[in-house]
Amino acid sequence: MGNLDFIYKRHSIRKFKDIEVPLEDIKELIKAATYAPSGKNLQNWHFVVIKNKEKIEEVARIVEKRNSELIKKCNNEEIKKPFSKFLKYHTVFRNAPVLVLVFAGPYPSTGLDIYKDINASSEEIHDLLRPSAGIQNIAAALENLLLAAANMGYGGCWMTGPNYAGKQIEEYIGFKKEGYFLAALTPLGVPEESELKSPPRKPVDEVLTIVE
């Protein structure tokens, strides 16, 4: 591993010790997140940090309630079953001392104005927007945060599962910023030692194509 140890320290942490994360450490991690690259240097991210355990638990309850509401409206048992089954993974942040919500703001996709002006087809526009360039900025920032956290002895877990309750979570925390929406979240804390492992990765040759 050598010089890349800081990468291999990162694991998806779902169990945490009951140890507080100091505010200065949280700010240091958010600062690291903001040093991620972003297209046009727009930095279209915003971080909402919740340290209050009761409020973190309430966010978990909001996800549970929304999950239940959606299941009641759905008549397809094959869809309902896994959606209900994976609920426990959508609320693993409830035992963490800190919850970080990552919001994404507006981002003008390069070429979109041109495509519209030349009356490009909906399929062409779909293909242009497919890479979700603005969300890639958010992803880079969150990865920075998680790598920095692991290097400082903390851990987190990249989560997008609870996004189906995004609007309800936004309303509860009262965060409003024009054009911003909840894109991802991560718990944050000192990991239980049993969590310091990762599932196997695909061999590099399987995911690598070199064009010479």
- C-alpha 172/C-alpha 156 separation (Å) is 22
Assign domain 2-191 to its CATH superfamily: NADH Oxidase (3.40.109.10)
The model's pLDDT over 20-78, given as tens digits with 9 standing for 90+, comes to 999 999 999 999 999 999 999 999 999 999 999 999 999 999 999 999 999 999 999 99
Q: Which structure tokens are listed for 24?
A: 């200065």
∠ at Cα 35 (47, 92), nearest 5°? Answer: 40
- C-alpha 66/C-alpha 58 separation (Å) is 12
Q: Which structure tokens are listed for 9?
A: 């320290």
> At 2, is the pLDDT very low, low, confident or very high (cuts 50, 70, 90)?
confident
First vs last Cα of the chain: how many Å apart? 27
User: What's the number of CA atoms in the CB half-sphere (13 Å) around residue 108?
Assistant: 10
Domain spans, the chain? 2-191
pTM recorded for the entire structure: 0.95
The model's pLDDT over 60-74, given as tens digits with 9 standing for 90+, comes to 999 999 999 999 999
